[in-house]
Structure 1
């Protein structure tokens, strides 16, 4: 066996609650002022929600603005679930919200707001994009299955709050059989599925295990040969009980699930999280651009895998480096250093260019909401603009 494991968490996980509140703030501020600069952090512990950070906006907001966003976000997630009592789950209307938000430092503003409507990088740092030919969506297998299992269980929990809570983790152990298969993007089978899912105290452990297996087998589409129910080892609520859950059972903090947000451990993570930040922060914008580039490289048939790193200097517009690593899976004679330079010459990759390409300053229900992205994951869903293969012809021309 050659095993690789990835994990996903639901919107109801305490860390995700914090991310979703923070990105709901980003959504609301950018909808009021597309030029707003936002960097807020959220910490949830017990019934306390602490919101801190820096904001610059033409539209003034007060403490009630942040309080309302936090409470509404938690209700949208699914709290409180019917059938759960006080002390077992989070009741948003009982929350105590503490707001410590100040103005963005003018020293940062002077480097971000440039002439000619350009944007300087809001911070220094490096970000990574990744793509793999393991699946049609160019995502790695163990991670995608963990997310798909999470999604079907979360959907069931929302419809059946008398049975399950919305706080859950899923994990998939994929067997590639050999290191060569792993390197060449050839997953063989799922070896183990691990689930931790909050449940009503009236639902017995045996029924939880039975129902979770049934939901997975009936609702997740597995590729041929990847799933054999009789051969997969299941670990479901391995402590035997998971009734008390939500932020009252475990504190939540923004930015603590960056691996679940991106590539599930298959690729490096960058210098910071995406949630809580506006589009001038390259932790967000460059991650999207790097994923877009990596996906094009693999989709165009230039390599089986692609890892793209983009780095920035604070207040500068162009990246300080653009690096492509096809991890010895290149399908052409082109060297990685050549491909890196060609991409750097072709695409400006400034925060403004990325923002306009993906309309990052226009979150909406019709386009996308950052809060929804925080709930599901920052990359890998076809409706995200940075998943569109709109430059595929140009990338394919590089094979000539």
Structure 2
């Protein structure tokens, strides 16, 4: 008789730490967004960042009453890198790891095109979409915060190892990657969002040159065991674990791998469990629907699942540049809806939620980032969705959805 425990239907998600060069680019870009919007809530920003070696290039378009000099852009950059964990760490050489004092910052920012701003800032106070595009929000009931399993556990592992690296710079660096493969047993379980066990874990973290690979692997294995992965899913003895699988990993940061804004969209969203629109969130102000539309779509999808209307849901929203009202709203529950089908849910969302950029901005206070609420740079570091303290993760309209059951 076949042992059901040997049945496999696997799904994998990866996560990178704030110290990964692509994340460094995102965090620097959103540190600029924070600075500009906090100084002028009507700022329009699309500032891409490229990190290569010791060079940081900031380019794109800005329209703001907040004036920032080239020296201030360099200060924003170096402060962001220091906060990430790239301070003047004597445990790594200047050839092994980036040091903020060695960074050269080039600023290539232009004014936003008036052809865009005439459609975004409208006379009636409405905000037209800052671009055309499609956005997808997703939720399922696999974890407490209605996020998929593999990316949730990969994030937990990354955060555990990253925090250890921050606290122990004499041992580990902050350019960390994690990956988790979840076994659903069969496709039907995957479709029903019923994970069976964690099949494989991969962790790569840089260490100082004086540590041997056996010591590093023992340390990270201990951190994995202490992460708090669900005991019903994680069994150390039955899980395949790869720790620094290529061997000793010392040289890291942008000195050894360039970084660019918007290159970690799957990491930032749902770990591959859902389609994505293709547009990045980091580097953009709240009128850019690549950012605000994702937040709204995730908000709606999370409510649908939390209200018990489906066990998983993806919500698509689309926009036309300069037009406030979405050009489409569609709900897909993958056949897991309980009472109302996808057509009815889509109609309900359209009729009850405006989903215009202005509505989204006011709903989540996207024009008011602060240390007391949220900062875009922090969102870039932690993932655009799935953190319960984000305004767009609040289940404040749950009763309205529950009335549909």
What is the CA deviation profile of residues 328-383 of structure 1, one whole-angstrom value per residue up to 9, with x for unaligned ones?
Answer: 11111x22011101111111000010001000001110000000000010001110
Structure 1 residues 38-85: Cα deviation after superposition (integer angstroms, max 9, x where no partner): 000000110000000000002322212211111110011010334111
1:227-256 deviation digits (Å, cap 9, x = unpaired)? 001111111111102100000010000000
Question: Could you tell me which residue of structure 1 aligns to residue 86 of structure 2?
Answer: 79
Partner of 2:380: 374
Matched, 1:203 2:211: yes
> 1 CA distance for matches of 2:70 and 2:49?
14
Aligned to 1:386: 392
Give the distance between the partners of 1:91 and 1:38, measured in 2 at CA: 27
State the TM-score, normalized to the length of structure 2.
0.97
Q: Distance in 2 between matches of 1:82 and 1:213?
A: 26
Is 1:358 the equivalent of 2:364?
yes
Measured in 2, the distance between the counterparts of 1:221 and 1:208 equals: 20
1:91 corresponding residue in structure 2: 99
Counterpart CA distance in 1 for 2:357 and 2:169 is: 42
Q: What is the CA distance between 1:271 and its match in structure 2? A: 3.0
Q: Select the residue among 301, 307, 314 that pairs with 1:300.
A: 307
Displacement, 1:225? 1.5
Give the C-alpha shift of residue 116 in structure 1.
2.5
Q: Which residue matches 2:137? A: 129
2:206 match: secondary structure: strand
Q: Distance in 2 between matches of 1:136 and 1:147?
A: 14
CA deviations over 1:159-201 (Å, ceiling 9, x no partner): 0001100001000010001111100010010111001111111
Residue of structure 2 in register with 1:225 after alignment: 232
TM-score by structure 1 length?
0.98
**Cα distance in structure 2, aligned partners of 1:381 and 1:138:** 10
- For 1:315 and 1:236, how far apart are their aligned partners in 2? 48
Local SS of the residue matching 1:165: coil
| Aligned equivalent of 2:354 | 348
**How far has the Cα of 1:9 moved from its partner?**
0.2
CA contact (8 A) 2:331 2:343 kept: yes
1:181-226 residue CA offsets vs partner (Å, 9 max, x unmatched): 10001001011100111111111100111110101111x2222410
1:164-243, aligned counterparts within 5 Å? 164-218=172-226, 220-243=227-250
In 2, Cα distance between equivalents of 1:135 and 1:78: 30
Runs of 5+ in structure 1 lacking a partner?
A: none
1:142 aligns with 2:150: yes
Q: Which runs of 4+ in 1 moved over 6 A?
A: none
Are 2:289 and 1:282 aligned? yes
CA contact (8 A) 2:265 2:278 kept: no
- What SS class does the counterpart of residue 239 from structure 1 fall into? coil
Count of aligned pairs between the two proteins: 397
Partner of 1:60: 67
Moved more, 292-301 or 195-204: 195-204
Query: Counterpart in 1 of 2:117?
Result: 109
Question: Is 1:320 matched with 2:323?
Answer: no
Give 3-state SS (helix, strand or coil) of 1:199's partner: coil
